[in-house]
Amino acid sequence: MDTHTYPVTRTDAEWRARLTPEQYAVMRGHGTERPGSCALLYEKRAGTFSCVGCDQPLFESKLKFESGTGWPSFNDPVPGSVENTVDRSYGMIRTECHCARCGSHLGHVFEDGPPPTGLRYCINGVALKFEPAA
């Protein structure tokens, strides 16, 4: 059980009112969207991807890349915006990433990404909103 307290907290009812059923299942229930199902997978404009749950800026578009996995992928998050925990679900050991401000599940990070970091933050698009650069 996660006992970490986040700067942004909401009741379950508040989360359900703020998020769509799919966003709630992914972000609060640690689910996964169907690969290739989110329009943000194809977003190529300059801008920032933020958390739907609390508006925290998470990823800059300049670090987004096409991984071929069906989910938006990034080299590295905005410093301090994402925290990682060990995920032992489904008989696997993976590194889960979640929003450092509200604790919402975003996706997982893998060590098979391109240079310079070698990381692939594989993020559920429904957990993100995109703001184009001005």
CB within 8 Å of 34: residues ≥ 6 apart: 70
For 74, the token pair is 């990034």
Cα separation values, 75 from 31, 88, 105, 111, Å: 22, 23, 18, 10
CA distances to 1, 5, 36, 85, 106 from 15, in Å = 18, 16, 25, 21, 15
Q: Is 102 annotated as catalytic?
A: no
Query: Which residue among the candidates 54, 97, 99, 122 is catalytic per the annotation?
Result: 122
Catalytic residue positions, numbered? 122
